[in-house]
Structures are given as structure tokens and as C-alpha cells.
Structure 1
Amino acid sequence: MPDDHHAATPNWPKPDVRIVQLAGPELDSLACGDLAGANATSPVPLTAYLAGPDRRGLWRMRSGQVAADPDAAAWVTGIIWDRRQLLAVGTAGYHGPPDASGMVEIGYAVDPVYRRRGYARAALESLLARATREPRVRTVRVTISPDNTASSRLASQYGFVEVGEQWDDEDGLEIIYETPADQERTGA
């Protein structure tokens, strides 16, 4: 999980976001860093950050998932879309559809230009709201680097509790946090 987990500052209103899902062609283009190709079919205008080298591994992974299971496109990482500014500010979504036990794992990242404006919190709230509405989802998981205290604090505000740890080949050691999908949340 990324480092933008702060509430909107006094100068910024609470963001109004939605997660815009992408289809195979956009995922394929972004995986190659082809912003023009992705924008040719994307439902929203995409930015250079989304096609940048730091995001390509994510898009390669999601492109492969959607190629293997087209129904996964409705679940995997999409675009954090600011409805007021009409602007793509980052990525958010699930790592895939609910597994056999009803667990989904969430993740998100905000373009550094738009951090500290409440977008990460808004994306998290959007993902949790969808998980609550989905009858197949029973547990929501997030994995966080042990040194990312801001992310851990945000997760705890939404009922996530530490349940273990894991080693991720790309991200290293991660603490695993989970919360029931139907939990009432305050986001305090």
C-alpha cells in the first residue's frame, strides 16, 4: 500500500472519486508504457504517471490476469478518478475477484503530485464500500510494509487488524491486515 494516507488538508475539499475499471486493451497498452494507445480506448483520460515505469509491473500483472480470466477486469486495479476535477490521480482496486474463502485484497497508489489531498482515503473508502455490497466478499485484506506507519494508521481507522506477515518478492516483508467485509466503519 502506498504512502498517501492523509485526510484532505484544510486547503483541499474531501475528494469525490470513483474507481474506473479498464479493459484488456488499456491494460496491455499501459503495461508497455504506451500512454497514447491506452488513451485511445480508455473511458477517462490517463496521465503519464499511470504509464510510467513505476506502474508498468502492476499493469503487466493485471493484463495477464484479465487475459486469463476476462471477468477479473471488473475487480483488478483501475483508475482513481476525481469526479470534480475530471482527473486521473492514481490507481486502486483489488488484486482479483474474491477467492474461495470470500477474501479480496486491496491496493492503491496516488500520483505523487496529488498526494496529501485525501485521495488514498477516498479510494480506500470506495473499495471498502464495494466489498460491503458484494455478497461473495467476507474478508478484506491489505498488506503494508512494516515501515509504512501512515498506511498502518489509516488501515486501523477502518477496522483492519494485523493477522500475520508475508514475504513479497517485489515489495519485501509485508504485514497482513484484515477486516470483515460487513463491518461498520467510521474512518475516524
Structure 2
Amino acid sequence: MIETERLRLQPLTREQAEQVVAGERAGQAWSAGYPREDDQDVARMALAHPAAEPPFGPLQIVARDSGLVVGGIGFFGPPDADGVVELGYGVAPEAEGRGYATEALRGLLRYAFSTGRVRRAIADTAHGNVGSQRVMEKAGMRQTRSDDRLRYYETTAPAA
């Protein structure tokens, strides 16, 4: 588990992934807009291809003050041979604008680089997703290129 000032980033368990896919809200500590369709897609992928190393798989973003899951964040697998990880994230609509995505991304990156196994983190977003672009920039990522569909961002491990 990764903790930040206001958030806990906790691994998505198999049971939780099944509940997210099914949309089983009863008894869940989920904010009103969670899970989003993207969260359900991530849960389906997690069920089909369980992460060998849970910290490098999907995580739930939990607001510490309420205990509610407000989004998801995580890596698409462990670092490759070059120390590169790809990541993604999203928060429920009612959690947007509170800085949760930025705080979660900073915490995730700090964790990744602290392992000593990650040298570079990459992500992408649609041209029109200005909110996501701002989140990545605030978390220290920089745009490296773009194509007709996406903008690509990355950051590297801080110098020791």
C-alpha cells in the first residue's frame, strides 16, 4: 500500500476486481461515480492477467478521510528490462478538481522510483483531455511527442 497525505493507494484484489466488473455496489465503500467504465476495463484486464507483482498492477485510490474508493491508478505491469513502466489513472467525476489524481500520481511515481527498478515512467492521454495533461505536468511528467490520437508523457527517476 502507498500512502500520501490524503490518500491510500491499495492493490485491487481479485474479489474487488470481480465486484468492480459486476458493478456490485452493495456493501462497497465506493464513491458515487466509482467504478467508471475505465475502472471496469482495468478490472477485466486484472482478472484475465493477474499481476505477478501487486504493486505494479492496478491500485484503488481511497480517500483517507472518508474511506471511499474515488478512482484507480496503477502500472500496466512490472518494469521492463530497461526499467520502464507504463501507467494510467482516473478518478470518479465527483472527485475531480480536488487534486486527488495529481497526489495519487505523485505518490505512485515516488514509490516506483524508490524501488530502484524503475528508471522511466510513461503515459498517454487524448488531445482533448486537458485535465489529464495538467495532472501529469503537475506530477512532473513532460510531453515528449504526439500523434493524431494521443499526447505522450514521461518522467525519469530523480538523480541520486
- TM-score bracket, shorter-length normalisation: 0.7 to 0.9
CA RMSD of aligned residues (A): 2.6
Q: Give the structure 2 partner of residue 181 of structure 1.
A: 157
Structure 2: distance between partners of 1:34 and 1:140 = 33
Structure 2: distance between partners of 1:15 and 1:91 = 17
Matched, 1:150 2:140: no
Quote the sequence identity (%).
Answer: 30
Q: Secondary structure at the match of 2:117?
A: coil
Structure 1: distance between partners of 2:141 and 2:159 = 10
Worse overlay, 157-166 or 53-62: 157-166
Worse overlay, 76-85 or 137-146: 76-85
Structure 2: distance between partners of 1:20 and 1:36 = 20
Q: Give the structure 2 partner of residue 122 of structure 1.
A: 103
The C-alpha deviation readout for 1:50-85, integer Å capped at 9, x for no partner, is: 34545322210122121xx4x243322211111122
Structure 2: distance between partners of 1:166 and 1:65 = 29
Structure 1: distance between partners of 2:95 and 2:9 = 16
Query: Which of 65, 69, 90 is the equivalent residue of 1:84?
Result: 65
The alignment of Structure 1 onto Structure 2 pairs a total of residues equal to 157
Change (3 A) 1:153 1:113: closer
Give structure 1 stretches of 5+ with no counterpart. Answer: 1-13, 40-44, 168-172
The C-alpha deviation readout for 1:103-123, integer Å capped at 9, x for no partner, is: 111211111112111111111
Question: 1:1-188 to 2 correspondence within 5 Å?
Answer: 16-36=6-26, 39=28, 45-47=29-31, 49-51=33-35, 53-66=37-50, 69=51, 71-165=52-146, 173-182=149-158
Give the TM-score, by structure 2 length.
0.82
Instruction: Flag the structure with more relative contact order, 1 or 2, with Cα contacts below 8 A and sequence separation at least 6.
Output: 1
Structure 1: distance between partners of 2:143 and 2:153 = 4
Matching residue's letter, 1:32: A
The C-alpha deviation readout for 1:11-53, integer Å capped at 9, x for no partner, is: xxx961120112222213322323449x5xxxxx334643454
Give structure 2 stretches of 5+ with no counterpart. Answer: none
Higher Cα radius of gyration = 1
